[in-house]
Amino acid sequence: MRKTIKISLSVASLLLLSVHPVLAANADNITGLSTQVVFIITIIVSIIFGLILTRVAAENRQAKGRMFATKAKGRGELDPNEVLQELKGLSGSAKNQKKAAMAISSLLEEKVDEKMTIVKQELTDKYGKLVEEKSKAAADAQKKFKKTLNEKKQTEAIVRSVAAGVVVVNNKGEVLLMNPAAEKLLDTKKEDKVGRQLTEDAKEEQLFSIAKATSLDGATDIEIDGDENTKKTLRSSSAVIEDENGQTVGMVTVLNDVTKQKELDEMKSQFLSNVTHELRNPIGAIKQSIAVILEGTAGELSEPQEKFLSNAKRNLDRLSSLVDDILDLSKLEAKKMELTLKPSSIATVINEVRVTLDTWTKNKGIHLVKNIQEDLPEINIDPNRIIQVLINIISNAIKFTPIDGTITLGAELSDKKNELIMTVSDTGVGIPKEDLPKIFGKFQQAKNRAAGDKSGTGLGLTIAQELVGLHGGEISVESKEGQGTTFTFTLSMNLTEESSSK
């Protein structure tokens, strides 16, 4: 408005300046009244002019405002600074400002709506997908859970119905699972044991035996003391449970009541021992009689008679050694074998063995070599039993070593000097790899024997192992087919009557 007045006044001044020389030149002819009229007309004309200019300017600003809105809409964006500038430019008219503001606001609203719709759609899609994925994962998890639950139920049912006792402990020794058979065998209640140490609050000796047994791998027999009816033997086999990283997470123990089996085994051993004992005397008597006849004391023998009697003697010898072996083994298994310990020179023991086997080795052309450490101290052993061990091992070596082979007998003190290490090496046929783990078993013979070879009982090494064990030692074998075999056994240097009877 102020601009309009300014323009009107400037136009009036210009008109006045332009009419002034005309008025001055005709001053004389023009009266004072007409001068005033001219002035007034000039002012009115100026005002009209000013108003026209103002109107034109307003129209211009409106057109500019519309153009700006269209431009912004065309670009699809609104620059806040631009809008501010444009609004400033429109400050001349409140009405126009309001109009422009409304246009911008509606445009903004439109834009915001548009953006909102896009964002909303994007979010709906995104969250829809997410929800879909989550529901699929939840369904999968549910399926897996159900499957695992079913498997768990199945496993529990199997474990429950297994006739053997099953006890599972974690790595802290706390009971995780115990089936009804185990409850019965251990005479305890699952509820009292689950989550607790197996040995906790155990009054019974049996639980301590179980705890001791569960720390071992392989099968262990546990004798549970009690009266005639409650006394039993449990055979426990334990296995370590490992997670996927190989960490021990617990142990599973399977318990079997082998009381009856043990009783039967004992009865069988007892029967064998009785029978063999009863056979021993008649066999001895027959052997002696045959020996007398073969010597010719009872009269001269024809060739066929001597042949048949020699054959009978050989078979009788075999029978006699079988009877002796069975008797020895029964005694060893029943822990009734008693050692007669005495300080002995191992060189003397070895010499006795050599003398016993001398004829056989010479007949077969085998070289028996000694490799004995000098100045070996005396050792507390049952010399007759160690001679038996050496004869069992060396007679096998002679049997399985071809003519001209060598058998080396070694004896030396261990580094700690607490053991005597004895070795018997031969250059014989060797033992097939697959037979090595079983040759110490009862009545076990390897497949390296010649077809039709019926010699031996398969008890020699079993007895040797038991006797070495009684002397506080261990026996082992190394063999390569076609190259030879080495048996090594140890004997404790500190053996006493008490330690040998354990």
In the complex, the residues that contact ligand ADP under the rule CB under 6 A are: 392, 396-397, 400, 426, 428-429, 431, 439, 444-446, 448-449, 456-462, 485
Instruction: Identify which of residues 296 and 441 has a Cβ nearer to ligand ADP in the complex.
Output: 441
The nearest distance, CB 382 to ligand ADP, in angstroms, is 20
The nearest distance, CB 411 to ligand ADP, in angstroms, is 18
Instruction: Identify which of residues 169 and 439 has a Cβ nearer to ligand ADP in the complex.
Output: 439
Residues 266 and 296 sit within 8 Å (Cβ to Cβ): no
The nearest distance, CB 404 to ligand ADP, in angstroms, is 16
The nearest distance, CB 333 to ligand ADP, in angstroms, is 15
Instruction: Identify which of residues 371 and 414 has a Cβ nearer to ligand ADP in the complex.
Output: 371
Burial bucket for residue 207 (CB in 10 Å: 0-12, 13-18, 19+): buried
Q: Which of 270, 260, 272, 255 is nearest to 221 (CA)?
A: 255
* CA separation for the pair 411, 422 (Å, rounded): 4
Which tokens in the block code for residue 266? Answer: 């004992």
Instruction: Identify which of residues 188 and 395 has a Cβ nearer to ligand ADP in the complex.
Output: 395
DSSP 57-101: HHHHHHHHHHHHHHHHHHHT---HHHHHHHHHHTTT-HHHHHHHH
Instruction: Identify which of residues 171 and 483 has a Cβ nearer to ligand ADP in the complex.
Output: 483
Instruction: Identify which of residues 183 and 324 has a Cβ nearer to ligand ADP in the complex.
Output: 324
Instruction: Identify which of residues 190 and 364 has a Cβ nearer to ligand ADP in the complex.
Output: 364
Burial bucket for residue 445 (CB in 10 Å: 0-12, 13-18, 19+): middle
The nearest distance, CB 492 to ligand ADP, in angstroms, is 23
Count of alpha carbons within 13 angstroms of residue 182, beta-carbon side: 28
Q: Which of 447, 453, 451 is nearest to 434 (CA)?
A: 447
* CA separation for the pair 236, 219 (Å, rounded): 5
The nearest distance, CB 289 to ligand ADP, in angstroms, is 26
The nearest distance, CB 337 to ligand ADP, in angstroms, is 17
DSSP 462-492: HHHHHHHHHTT--EEEEEETTTEEEEEEEEE
